[in-house]
Amino acid sequence: MKKVLLIVLALLTLGSTLVVNAQKKEKKEKKELKWEWDGTKSGNETIDKYLLTIDTLYNRVISYRDSIDSFEYRDTVINIKGKDYKVAYMLNHEGQLVTQGQINSQFMEATLDGMNLVLDMTSAGLESATAALALPQLGLNALKFAKYVKGGPAVISQGIKTVKTIRGKWQSNLRDWRGTKTSALTKEQVASLGYFSDEWIKKYYKCIRISPVDSQSEKYIAYQETQKDKTEEEKAKDAEGWVKDIEGREVAQAKTREENENITDEDFEKMMKDA
């Protein structure tokens, strides 16, 4: 038994060393979330409960990663009747346009589900040492289950990083999208431009924000450099090309009733505050 204990401790120490070394190389290497437990039980209640918890968390992280649609923020400048306007919109992973309600709903899901996942993984991390101390009770089987037990903290650590990465991308895209709200033209103002048809506005206004350009922004100044040799006719054709690109995209179907109701920014803020 003493020899088994020494072997187990050596394995766990090696695992800890590998984790530390991996953390030092994190900036150089992108680690993948990995879990290899085949579901075999050890017969020890403490260890089996821990492995099942890690297995459940692993599958929840994978599900979270695959189900949370990562929307991409895009904006550009188009010239409408001799005046420049900024147009901003968000696309899902299929290149479909998404509405404000879908954006808010998905971000709320990414935030709340991610928060619950991080809390559960943090809680599971507190059981890692307890499971490791129970390994000697398995006798010779300790060698078999030690690799699974020492894999638990890695799943927790990488799982938390995965959730934070997804939330970070969402926050960045949402920040850009929210930044277009204040200056965005109302539906009536877009109609008054006399450029878009009523049918076009009805279909795309909920997905696209059109606003006067910020003439002092670095992005617009750089854009002007690319346009200085273009004629008004060429600028008009560029705008037509953007409109055709938008018309060639589908508007994503709402997955929930809340998305269909087009959750406003105000509704979203209230829901997040009450959560």
pLDDT 10s digits, 139-176: 999 999 999 999 999 999 999 999 998 888 888 888 89
pLDDT of residue 110: 84
User: Which of the two residues, 18 and 230, has the higher pLDDT score?
Assistant: 230
**What average pLDDT does range 121-125 have in this prediction?**
95
30 three-state secondary structure? coil
pTM comes to 0.70
Q: Is the pLDDT of residue 18 over 80?
A: no
Spatial separation of the C-alpha atoms in residues 214 and 60, rounded to whole Å: 43
pLDDT in tens, 91-116: 998 999 999 888 888 888 888 899 99
Spacing of C-alpha 141 from chain mean position? 40
Q: Looking at this protein, which amino acid is placed at residue 180? A: T
Distance of CA 18 to the CA centre of its chain: 28
Distinct helix (H) and strand (E) counts, the chain: 11, 3
Q: How confident is the model at residue 6 (pLDDT cuts 50, 70, 90)?
A: very low
Backbone angles phi, psi at 164, to 5 degrees: -65, -35
28 phi and psi angles, rounded to 5 deg: -95, -30
